[in-house]
Amino acid sequence: MNWISNYVRPKINSLFSRREVPENLWTKCPECGTMLFHRELKDNLNVCTNCNHHMVLTPRDRFEDLFDGGIFTEVAVPEPVADPLHFRDQKRYPDRLKSTQKKTGEPEAMLVAEGDMGRTPIVAAAQDFSFMGGSMGMYVGNAIIAAAERAVEIKRPLILFSAAGGARMQEGILSLMQMPRTTVAVEMLREAGLPYIVVLTHPTTGGVTASYAMLGDIHIAEPNALICFAGPRVIEQTIRETLPEGFQRAEYLLDHGMLDRVTHRKDMREELITLTRMMMNLPPAVKGELPAPTDEDAVEPSSAPEVTASEQKNTAGKADKSS
Ligand SMILES: [Zn+2]
């Protein structure tokens, strides 16, 4: 209306209010309902400080904690044909993709990177549950193949972090085709004699569980992660019986021989270092000698992997994403 409400007030607001809205400052734990302050939650690797629930962690945040000094090089993933079925639900598939890309700042549901983890060279791939439920479409298939090919090329182990609601229905049969494709990719690693470790995070379901997520040499899960093909509700409705407590959760699957380990997120890096060094016939890592996950000074140029100028370099502390 007037100069004060149209100009002065917004100006004052922009000066004093931080742009974060309260929902971004506080996160409600989906398991116990506790309100958690975002900084405290980030420091605790997105694990609820009250009930220990392991919340969704984006691939980029995960890699920043995984690689030495948070430094990694992204491995390029070939772009698949966009929307071959011209799929439409409430929204056109390309529009849905575009809005998700804008929301997450990522091109697709999987990130592939190479770098050093505890001075142990690895290739890692991580699925992004916040990107359309981490659904496996053609891009995710391409990403796993790119990761396996790169691992074979530079003779490094592959560590994959799975998180998915299953196949991407917008790509129909083409998404299901990623199950055999990724199985072939895993086979490439086997033939090259390279370790393939899968870390199953909450939730890993559907075609992902039925293919690459269950084909690892070692399967580690995060605590209480739901890991299944068909979910508990579907099974309950089909067999009309109440399922046992903790059914299809990580600890239950460990007891029944489906997993090798259940490991807390804070211990995951140490454990992956120990395992990869053991499987690659490298001397065991001496505690205290490894660079800390976020200590950038710890990575000397001599110990860092060769990075060509054309390769994109990622460093920790992307404040723009977390704010
Ligand atoms: Zn909680």
Top pLDDT among 248 and 12 is at 248
The Å distance, Cα 52 to ligand 1 centre, comes to: 6
The Å distance, Cα 51 to ligand 1 centre, comes to: 4
Q: What is the CB neighbour count within 10 angstroms for residue 209?
A: 22
Q: Under CATH, which number does the domain 56-322 receive?
A: 3.90.226.10
| Stretch 30-55: mean pLDDT | 93
| Stretch 228-254: mean pLDDT | 93
| 8 Å CB contact between 77 and 86 | no
The Å distance, Cα 292 to ligand 1 centre, comes to: 27
Cα separations (Å) of 286 from 229, 257, 273, 280, 282? Answer: 39, 31, 11, 16, 12
| Stretch 215-235: mean pLDDT | 95
User: Using CA atoms, how far apart are residues 169 and 30, in angstroms rounded to an integer?
Assistant: 25
Q: Is 247 exposed, middle or buried (0-12, 13-18, 19+ CB in 10 A)?
A: middle
Query: Which tens digit of pLDDT belongs to each residue from 60-98?
Result: 999 999 999 999 999 999 999 989 999 999 999 999 999
Residue 273 has pLDDT above 60, yes or no: yes
| Stretch 293-321: mean pLDDT | 45
Instruction: For residue 286, name the pLDDT band (cuts at 50, 70, 90).
Output: confident
Instruction: For residue 204, name the pLDDT band (cuts at 50, 70, 90).
Output: very high
> Could you tell me which residues are beta bridge partners of residue 167?
136
Lowest mean pLDDT among 7-21, 176-190, 248-262: 7-21
CATH 3.90.226.10: which residues of the chain?
56-322
Helix (H) or strand (E) holding 116: strand 110-117
| Stretch 266-285: mean pLDDT | 93
The Å distance, Cα 50 to ligand 1 centre, comes to: 5
User: Residue 137's closest CA among 82, 99, 98, 201?
Assistant: 82
The Å distance, Cα 46 to ligand 1 centre, comes to: 10
The Å distance, Cα 152 to ligand 1 centre, comes to: 40
Query: Which tens digit of pLDDT belongs to each residue from 123-152?
Result: 999 999 999 999 999 999 999 999 999 999
The Å distance, Cα 246 to ligand 1 centre, comes to: 16
The Å distance, Cα 140 to ligand 1 centre, comes to: 30
Average predicted confidence (pLDDT) for the chain = 87
| Stretch 241-252: mean pLDDT | 93
Percent of residues, the chain, with pLDDT higher than 90: 76
Residue 310 has pLDDT above 50, yes or no: no
| Stretch 197-219: mean pLDDT | 97
Query: Which tens digit of pLDDT belongs to each residue from 97-125?
Result: 999 999 999 999 999 999 999 999 999 99
The Å distance, Cα 193 to ligand 1 centre, comes to: 41
Which residue's entry shows tokens 């293919």? 211
The Å distance, Cα 307 to ligand 1 centre, comes to: 40
> Can you give the pLDDT at residue 98?
96
Query: Which tens digit of pLDDT belongs to each residue from 261-271?
Result: 999 999 999 99
Task: Return the half-sphere exposure (C-beta side, CA atoms, 13 A cut-off) of residue 85.
Answer: 14
> Can you give the pLDDT at residue 285?
78
Instruction: For residue 165, name the pLDDT band (cuts at 50, 70, 90).
Output: very high
Query: Which tens digit of pLDDT belongs to each residue from 27-37?
Result: 999 989 999 99
Helix (H) or strand (E) holding 236: helix 232-239
The Å distance, Cα 54 to ligand 1 centre, comes to: 8
The Å distance, Cα 248 to ligand 1 centre, comes to: 19
Residue 220 has pLDDT above 90, yes or no: yes
> Can you give the pLDDT at residue 17?
54
Residue 190 has pLDDT above 80, yes or no: yes
